[in-house]
Structures are given as C-alpha cells and as structure tokens.
Amino acid sequence: MVKAMRIHAHGGPEVLQWEDIDLPPPGPGEARLRHTAIALNFSDINIRRGGFYQKDPLPMPLIPGNEAAGVVESVGPGVTEVKPGDRVGYVGVGAGFFAKNGSYAEERNVPAARLVHLPKDVSDIEAAAVMLKGLTSSNIVNRIYRPERGDHVLIHAAASGVGLILTQWCKHFGAIVIGTVGNAEKARIAREHGADHTILYRQVDFVPEVKKIIPGGVRAVLDGVGKDTFEKSMDCAAPFGTLVNYGNASGHVPPIDIMQLSLKGTLSMWRPGVSHFLGDPARFKLLCSELFDLVEKGVLKNIAARTYALKDARQAHIDAERAEHAGPVVLLP
Ligand SMILES: NC(=O)c1ccc[n+]([C@@H]2O[C@H](COP(=O)([O-])OP(=O)(O)OC[C@H]3O[C@@H](n4cnc5c(N)ncnc54)[C@H](OP(=O)(O)O)[C@@H]3O)[C@@H](O)[C@H]2O)c1
C-alpha cells in the first residue's frame, strides 16, 4: 500500500482525495520509484478540471501528475537502464502526455527507459521544478524562436513557472525581456530573474506599455496565458514577428482569422506541445542533460520552487488557480 492523491471525477480542487492504493511490483521494463519531489504543472489542473484537451473520458479513479524526481527502489525483469538506489527523474511516461498520469503518489512504477539520471549538483526539488518547464522553454528557444542579441521579447506571466525559465533563457541569448506580471511582488521576482521591464497587465493595457518601450514592436511574444492575452499580443509584434502560445492559464485562445497575421505585420504563429519535442527516450535524455547543464552553470538559477506536502496538493491547486505563487511548485511526499 502507498498513499496517493486521486480523483474519482473531474471537478474543483475538492475532488483530490488522499487515499491508499495498491502498487504491484514493477513489471517487465519497469522501475519502482520512491518519489522525492513531484512537480505541479498547470496541465494537472486541466486534467483535474476535465474536458480541456482529451476528447475521450479518462479512466477513473485517476492519479494526476506527469513529472517527478525520486529514487529507484526495485526494478522489473529486463531493466538495464537503472538500478536500486539511483536518483532519477521523468517527464511523462511515453504515452500521450495527458493519457498516462500518476505522479501524485508516494511511489510509482515507471518505464525504466523514460528515466533520466539526475546530476549530483541538481537537487530533487530543482529537477522536479525545472524538467517539464525547462523543456517547454527549450522547445521554444531552440526550435521555434531563438532570440538574437538586442531582440525585444514580450513574455506573458513572466514570473510563472515557465515564465521565469524563459526569461532567464532569453536573457542568456542577449534579448531584452519585457515581462507582464500579475502584481508588484511578481514584478520584483521577474526582474530578479533578468526581466528588463515589467508591466502590471491586470492594472494597465499592456499594448501601449510595450509600444512605449519599443515603438516598432517586439520580435516575439511568448504567451502561456492564452485567452486574456494572445489576440492583443498581435498588436505588440514587429513586422515578421513570432507569436508563440504555449499555454492557456486563462483559457483557450479563441479562433483566429489567419488574415490577421498578414494585416498585423506578416506574423508567424506557433502553438507548441512539449510531447512532440521530447521524442524518444534517447532524445529526452539528451535534452535533459542540456537543461541540467544550464542549471549547473547557473544560467538557469534561483528557480524559486514553492513546496507543499503532497497530501496538501488540494491547497496547492487552489493557490495555483488563484495565481498566488511565482515560479514552479513542487509537492513533497
Ligand atoms: N505547451 C506545452 O508543452 C506546455 C508545457 C508546460 C506548460 N504549459 C502551459 O503553460 C502555462 C503556464 O504554465 P506554468 O507552469 O508556468 O503555470 P504557473 O506557474 O501556474 O503560472 C501560471 C500564471 O498564469 C497567469 N494567469 C493568468 N490568468 C490566469 C488564470 N485565470 N488562472 C491562473 N493563472 C493565470 C498567472 O500569472 P500572473 O499572476 O502574473 O498573471 C499565473 O501565475 C499553463 O497553461 C501550462 O499548461 C504548456
């Protein structure tokens, strides 16, 4: 028996229940992991709420969560990649990202091929804080839009989990970062992580504020907020600029008339999903090692991870939905 947070039906944070579950021994190709640090991702909230991405109903009861760090307890037949005692992490378990959840548990069986060894200088909390959010950022800056020195980049919710990493990564390439943020404390945190300008976008219209800073518009908009920000962001972009909507914290972006991209300046638009970027286990490990290298070199630093006990995941979800925290959130079993 191990403890896990489970849901038996979609709904608000109250559907999260702290329960005993049976965990069978690891099967062929699987490792049993004792979780030490579990990421809270906004996708966990979407899974809990239901009806966000998945067309078919998810099987219930369901343990949310897609990302964690931990220690290998035992391995099933045929496992060569890891051994008991290894410190490892994972993001997803190979199936579609929203299909196979299960991280909000003290222990879990995970396909060993999907595990990555954690470097000794990266703590379990740092790993859980940075893997998915860092790989999401990597997908953007390495595959979609690579900032050039002096580019102005607008990052919405710059003090969010992904936002703080994107801010640091864009600064690393020499960009000038304009970050929108929900309050003054988040503005301070975003600036501490490298943002050159911050805009309190709940208090003022961010479009004229951006134009005051860079009248010709920004080279790129990186947007995890979605519904409340994406359409207006077109008015912030320079001709031939890039719009990236990577998340929908405020809700889905409404359908957009493609002609707007021409009228607003021959813009390009992306809607990335991290699963396609992670690829096979070998590629995932390579991407993680590049990411951990940036953490070890201090390029991605002070990733302010707020922690909650796993059994308090309900409160963590409440706070995330109220946009109360800055930076990543990690649940501790
Ligand atoms: N495409 C991908 O592959 C991928 C991968 C990872 C994450 N994501 C998505 O990226 C988005 C951000 O993830 P994250 O980990 O950075 O989330 P997070 O740390 O929880 O931050 C979300 C932020 O969005 C802002 N926000 C605006 N409207 C909101 C609302 N109605 N409810 C809650 N927050 C709202 C808040 O910042 P302010 O207070 O500053 O407004 C909040 O802190 C999520 O939608 C997530 O699903 C996508």
pLDDT of the residue at 130: 96
Residues 247, 167, single domain; the answer is yes
Q: In terms of residue numbers, what domain contains 326?
A: 2-129+275-332
Provide DSSP, 41-105.
-HHHHHHHH-SSS-SSPPPSSB----EEEEEEEEE-TT--S--TT-EEEEES-SS-TTT----SB
Task: Among 271, 289, 320, identify where a domain stops.
Answer: 271
CA of 123 to the centre of ligand 1 (A): 24
Residues 226, 282, single domain; the answer is no
Q: pTM score > 0.75 for this model?
A: yes
CA of 240 to the centre of ligand 1 (A): 26
Mean pLDDT over the full length of the chain: 94
Q: Hey, whose CA ends up nearest to atom 35 of ligand 1?
A: 249
**pLDDT-above-90 percentage for the chain:** 89
Residues 39, 98, single domain; the answer is yes
Residues 266, 292, single domain; the answer is no
Q: Hey, whose CA ends up nearest to atom 42 of ligand 1?
A: 323
| pLDDT tens, residue by residue, 246-305 | 999 999 999 999 999 999 999 999 999 888 888 888 889 999 999 999 999 999 987 768
Q: Which atom of ligand 1 is nearest to the CA of 226?
A: 45
Choose the residue to mutate in 42, 202, 228, 319 for probing ligand 1, maximizing ligand atoms within 8 Å of C-beta. 42
Q: For residue 226, count other CB atoms closer than 10 A to its CB.
A: 21
Instruction: Give the CATH number, domain containing residue 189.
Output: 3.40.50.720
Task: Among 244, 271, 298, identify where a domain stops.
Answer: 271
Q: Is the pLDDT of residue 9 over 70?
A: yes
CA of 158 to the centre of ligand 1 (A): 10
> With left for phi above 0 and alpha for psi between -120 and 50, is residue 130 left, alpha or beta?
alpha
Distance, in Å, from the CA atom of 209 to the CA atom of 57, rounded to the nearest integer, reads 43
Instruction: Give the CATH number, domain containing residue 14.
Output: 3.90.180.10
| Both structure tokens of 88 | 């490892």
Distance, in Å, from the CA atom of 138 to the CA atom of 297, rounded to the nearest integer, reads 16
Q: How many domains does the chain fold into?
A: 2
Residues 194, 246, single domain; the answer is yes
Q: Cβ(109)–Cβ(27) under 8 Å?
A: yes
Residues 241, 279, single domain; the answer is no
Residues 15, 51, single domain; the answer is yes
Residues 301, 247, single domain; the answer is no
Residues 14, 91, single domain; the answer is yes
Is the alpha carbon torsion for 9, 12, 18, 24 positive or negative? positive
| pLDDT tens, residue by residue, 68-112 | 999 999 999 999 999 999 999 999 887 666 678 999 999 999 999
Task: Among 230, 256, 271, identify where a domain stops.
Answer: 271
pLDDT of the residue at 83: 98
Instruction: Report the candidate in 57, 68, 62, 76 with the shortest Cα–Cα distance to residue 21.
Output: 62
Q: Cβ(273)–Cβ(300) under 8 Å?
A: no
Residues 121, 21, single domain; the answer is yes
Instruction: Look at residue 50 and tell me if it is in a domain.
Output: yes
Average pLDDT of span 20-34: 97
Q: For 51-55, 110-114, 324-328, which range has the lowest pLDDT when averaged over its residues?
A: 51-55
Average pLDDT of span 112-135: 95
pLDDT of the residue at 94: 74
- What count of Cα atoms within 13 Å lies in the side-chain half-sphere of residue 315? 9
Q: Is the pLDDT of residue 59 over 90?
A: no
Residues 26, 98, single domain; the answer is yes
Show the ligand 1 pocket: residues with CB < 6 angstroms.
41-43, 132-133, 136, 157, 159-163, 181-182, 186, 224-225, 228, 246-250, 272-274, 320-321, 323
CA of 298 to the centre of ligand 1 (A): 24
